[in-house]
């Protein structure tokens, strides 16, 4: 399976906010995540920092 984890980088620490992510969408300044089971999480005031396709992780940072 190729689902991903979404990780927030904040204050020098990493925090996993969702696993088994199948969708990451950015719309109107919000990041929308959906996992394999259909659970949805909307994050405001974060930006996409990077995506590591090898380890299947997307990293977010708070907007300054």
pLDDT in tens, 8-64: 999 999 999 999 999 999 999 999 999 999 999 999 999 999 999 999 999 999 998
CA distance 47 to 60: 5
Smallest Cα–Cα separation from 48: which of 58, 35, 34, 40? Answer: 58
Which pLDDT does position 44 carry in this prediction?
97
**Domain spans of the chain, in order of start:** 4-62
CA distance 2 to 23: 11
Q: Is residue 4 over pLDDT 90?
A: yes
Q: What's the whole-model pTM score?
A: 0.93
Residue found under tokens 């995506």: 51
Q: CA-CA distances (angstroms) from residue 40 to 16, 17, 27, 55?
A: 15, 11, 14, 22
């Amino acid at each position: 399976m190729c689902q991903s984890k979404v990780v927030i980088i904040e204050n020098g620490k990493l925090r996993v906010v969702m696993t088994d992510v199948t969708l990451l969408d950015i719309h109107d300044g919000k990041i929308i995540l959906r996992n394999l089971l259909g659970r949805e999480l909307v994050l405001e005031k974060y930006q996409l920092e990077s995506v590591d396709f090898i380890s299947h992780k997307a990293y977010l940072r708070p907007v300054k």
